[in-house]
Amino acid sequence: MNVKLEEAWKGGMKYAGKRCKDEIEEVANSLAISTERVKEWIGNRNAKERRENGEGKPMKRKAAITTGTNSYALFAKTVKRGTMDGPTYCKHIANEWGKLDEREKEVFREDAQQIRLDPYKGKPREAVISAQLNIIGQACQTLDSIGYAVCGLGCDREKEAAPDFFGTQDAAPFFDFDLQEKFILFVSGKKIKATKPDQTICNEEEKKELRQLVRKHFNAAWAISTKLATTVPYKEITAGNILVEVEGLPEGITLKDPSSYGKETLKELLKTEMKFQIRY
């Protein structure tokens, strides 16, 4: 988003008033954000330019929430978009928010605070497991890149499934079949057929590459179909803030972030010719 805004700013969109009204609306529509947000960005960018030129002193900024959600974002998810375009919808949310009294707003603030304290609150158990394993996997890749060896096993005590292996490439041979089966039997009391660790790593690398290819495939279809942003706004679509019809998806498969699909589904998606249509 910042790249698009920076390009427009360098192209002359340096005023938040009527002088750049058309440019502001064009950028806001392309990024599916409000014009007010674009104007705010222009003001901040101009202030940065002045500071770099020695024309002003940096002001002390208020503490801001940098991770998690906030009360306004939670409230926005409850407001139906209907046939409104992006800018109109953003203004509608702001108007509806203004109608709430402080007691009603406080409910959203408390809910947002709870989510920030527990970001996985309300999410399916499988999603939490997947997210945490991804974090561990990324940490292993970082350690591997600096020559540090690490390895580990995990298994779902509530399901009969092969264990999850994570670690650096050189640590893979340590987890032979016997060790995996002993681990599963020890923690779950079940005897489940183990998998070859190095094959697990290869499969994960292949899946990661497939996810990247599908993401690019989706983004290209979105850009061509909508003439808007070059990346699919999965969160906005999932939340119902942007209503779209998707043509070309295989039967039984719905639009999701590519990280949510399995390997075979990812392969199938690469063969599709997709089209997006935004419903206003």
Predicted local confidence at residue 263, as pLDDT? 78
How far is 238 from 65, CA to CA, in rounded Å?
A: 23
User: Any bridge partners for residue 139, and if so which?
Assistant: none
What is the SS3 string spanning 42-79? HHHHHHHHHHHCCCCCCCCCCCCCCCCCCHHHHHHCCC
What pLDDT, on a 0 to 100 scale, did the predictor assign at position 63? 43
Sort strands 244-247 and 164-167 into parallel, antiparallel or unpaired: unpaired
Please determine whether the domains at 2-52 and 209-278 fall in the same fold group of CATH.
Answer: no
DSSP H or E segment with residue 90? helix 86-99
275 forms beta bridges with 247
Whole-prediction pTM: 0.35
CA separation for the pair 255, 232 (Å, rounded): 10
Q: Where are the domains of the chain?
A: 2-52, 71-117, 126-195, 209-278
**Ordered per-residue pLDDT tens for the chain, 280 residues:** 678 888 888 888 888 888 888 888 888 888 878 888 888 888 888 888 888 777 655 555 544 444 557 888 889 889 988 888 888 888 899 999 999 999 999 998 888 888 777 766 667 778 788 778 888 888 888 888 888 988 888 888 777 766 777 887 777 667 777 777 788 788 877 665 555 554 444 456 777 888 888 888 888 888 888 776 668 888 888 777 788 888 888 888 888 888 888 878 888 888 888 888 877 5
Question: Taking the domain 209-278, which CATH number applies?
Answer: 3.90.1460.10
State whether CATH 1.10.10.60 applies to domain 2-52: yes
Measured distance CA(195)–CA(41) in Å, rounded = 51
Which pLDDT value is given to residue 65? 41
Question: 6 Cβ partners below 8 Å, 6+ apart?
Answer: 45
Q: What pLDDT is recorded for position 172?
A: 66
Q: Distance (Å, rounded) from C-alpha 196 to C-alpha 117?
A: 38
Closest CA to 217 of 270, 277, 262: 270
